[in-house]
Structure 1
Amino acid sequence: MADFSKQLSKYVPAAAAPIISQWINDTSCRFRVSKSRKTKLGDYMAPFQGQPHKISVNHDLNPYAFLITTIHEFAHLKTWQLFKNKVKPHGSEWKENYKKLMQPFLTLGIFPQDILQAITKYMNNPAASSCTDMNLYRVLRQYDTNQQQEITTVESISEGSYFLFNGTRMFQKQEKLRKRYKCIEVTTEKVYLFHPIAEVILVS
């Protein structure tokens, strides 16, 4: 049985690495550290035509975000083992498995107190991604060490400010509509709705 703890400890808190290593062995999962992806933090692929379970997690996440994403994807694996594709991807079955898999890590002293509080609150109703829970997302972001200083979020800039999205498209921030911010693309004058924690580069 391979021990992946040493490799995993580069990405997750050391105390968590043996548990994740055991999960990889127990499920014969092909676990991969992926390049950064803007559209997702990690993903899970069910076995197909003799292939093993596959999980990938973005390499540039901080250790706590990497661990939380890993648990998220293993909850998908566990749900598939129990129900195959007969249940919703993030339905009640997945939520229950996520809570069960997260539980051991809550008692090991792995998470700082602010993250622990945010996770505990998030676990009342886990969502499709930790990014959709703004409180947990904000707390996790405080532990990032590889963020460029000029990158900020839509919610943190003032109304009327101009910002770049995806490096090239310029928008002007308008008022908040329910849960998202109305923003106007400068060149086309089209209106777009931005999530409060969408990452942008402030221009003025």
Structure 2
Amino acid sequence: MDKVKVLQRYLPPDAAPLIGRWIDYFKCEFKISRNRNSKFGDYRPPFDGKGHRISVNYDLNPYAFLVTTVHEFAHLHTWNEHKHKAKPHGTEWKNNFKRMMQPFFEKEIFPPDVKAAIVSYLNNPAASSCSDLGLYRSLRKYDAPKEDVHTVEKIPVHALFKIKDGRVFRKEEKLRKRYKCTEVATKRVYLFSPVAEVELIKD
């Protein structure tokens, strides 16, 4: 099947042709991956006879899929220019990420709220789009609704919640950017991102 048609299942349709051209131009193996809780996407430079490899989680909404894809292609472009001399999310990568996002602004691919969040993020892009809370929240609005899934910031203080591995926590007070949460079984304290997705345990 034509790669652009496949990409249109995951990306905003008007963005797919350009991503398809990037895959060809950079001779990149582009993989649509299973869900990974720790990351949205991944870039691997050429190694051991393999070329550039990019993977992006299949279950992202189209705007999050596009932001992640551009993020990873900026890594590829930076590696081509600087090899190992550039830091993974240093100035060279930031400049490439800004430049590579421009065509999608010109095509008006993003809704106004997402575009505004990306522009703010581009002033100093972080290692991950999910580490920028403004961008992460704006992208999450376009996720399909999930039953019984809440973010830590939305549940009441002292409420109990469960994470994917089954462990149960009690939400405590906010410490700067994260929430202190106590694991019920061990009484150990962990810090959770405000936008971590959890299952609320109802009384």
Which blocks of at least 5 consecutive residues in structure 2 are unaligned? none
Give 1:62-73 correspondences, 5 Å limit.
62-73=61-72
Is the 1:3–1:21 Cα contact (8 Å) retained in structure 2?
Answer: no
Counterpart code for 2:53: K
Instruction: Give identity over the alignment, percent.
Output: 55
Deviation at 1:100, TM superposition (A): 0.5
Cα gap change, 1:167 to 1:151, in 2 (>3 Å): farther
Cα gap change, 1:82 to 1:3, in 2 (>3 Å): farther
TM-score, normalising length from structure 1?
Answer: 0.96
Deviation at 1:49, TM superposition (A): 2.3
Q: CA RMSD in A?
A: 1.2
Q: 1:184 aligns with which of 182, 186, 189?
A: 182
Deviation at 1:4, TM superposition (A): 2.1
Instruction: Describe the SS at the equivalent of 1:84.
Output: helix
Rounded Cα–Cα distance in structure 1 between residues aligned with 2:150 and 2:40: 18
Give 1:87-126 correspondences, 5 Å limit.
87-126=86-125
Deviation at 1:53, TM superposition (A): 0.2
Structure 1 counterpart of 2:8: 9
Give 1:1-204 correspondences, 5 Å limit.
4-145=3-144, 147-204=145-202
**Per-residue CA distance 1:123-152 (angstroms, 9 max, x = gap):** 10111111011111111111111x422111
Is the 1:106–1:116 Cα contact (8 Å) retained in structure 2?
Answer: yes
Rounded Cα–Cα distance in structure 1 between residues aligned with 2:178 and 2:121: 20
Counterpart code for 1:116: K
Count of aligned residue pairs for this structure pair: 202
Rounded Cα–Cα distance in structure 1 between residues aligned with 2:64 and 2:31: 16
Which blocks of at least 5 consecutive residues in structure 1 are unaligned? none
Rounded Cα–Cα distance in structure 1 between residues aligned with 2:185 and 2:159: 15
**Per-residue CA distance 1:96-147 (angstroms, 9 max, x = gap):** 00000001101112111111111111110111111011111111111111x4
Counterpart code for 2:12: P
Instruction: Describe the SS at the equivalent of 1:64.
Output: helix
Counterpart code for 2:185: T
Counterpart code for 1:76: H
Q: Hey, which bits of structure 1, 4+ residues long, moved more than 3 A?
A: none
Deviates more, 1:163-172 or 1:93-102: 163-172
Rounded Cα–Cα distance in structure 2 between residues aligned with 1:87 and 1:67: 24
Is the 1:134–1:197 Cα contact (8 Å) retained in structure 2?
Answer: yes
Instruction: Describe the SS at the equivalent of 2:36.
Output: coil
Rounded Cα–Cα distance in structure 2 between residues aligned with 1:15 and 1:27: 20
Deviation at 1:167, TM superposition (A): 4.5
Instruction: Describe the SS at the equivalent of 1:193.
Output: strand
Rounded Cα–Cα distance in structure 1 between residues aligned with 2:112 and 2:193: 27
